[in-house]
Amino acid sequence: MLRNCEECNRLFSHPTRVLCQDCYEQAKRSFELVKKYLQDNPGATVAQVARDTEVDLELIYEYVQEGRLDVIPKDVSLQCSICGAVINVGRVCAKCRNELRSTISSESSRYQGKSKNGTRVHILDNLKDR
């Protein structure tokens, strides 16, 4: 099936991918760069990561939101999508996860859709250099 690449709009053919081969490789490289940079520089801010890896800020937030990074920039925080508590990884805090786990068997459908908005990312610090 032919489709347009979401990034460069070029026509390409792939059953599931939304990016063409070039952009897919590029996206993968960017992610690896960010991941590696944060492993080497655990205290880095988003601005530092973006500057040193030349990866778009928006993309870095996306990685954080998707929970793909083991180490996240220090000025980005994730919030539990249920109670809003600050968490370091994932989409819900430990407390809500436990509650979910205990209620999920009896009320399996009640929580569906509740985390639809996904995890909210908040910038704690002003991004501008001071």
The least distance separating Zn ion from the CB of residue 130, rounded to whole angstroms, comes to: 32
Least Å distance, CB 44 to Zn ion, is 26
**CB 19 → Zn ion: shortest distance, Å?**
5
Q: Which lies closer to Zn ion via its Cβ, residue 45 or residue 119? A: 119
Q: Which of residues 4 and 39 has its CB atom nearest to Zn ion in the complex? A: 4
> Which residues bind to Zn ion, rule: CB under 5 A?
5, 7-8, 20, 23, 80, 82-83, 85, 93, 96
Which string of DSSP letters, residue by residue, matches the chain? Answer: -EEE-TTT--EEE-SS-SS-HHHHHHHHHHHHHHHHHHHH-TT--HHHHHHHH---HHHHHHHHHTT--SS--TTEEEE-TTT--EESSSSS-HHHHHHHHHHHTTSTTTTTTTTTT--EEEE-S--S--
Cβ proximity to Zn ion, 35 vs 97, nearer residue: 97
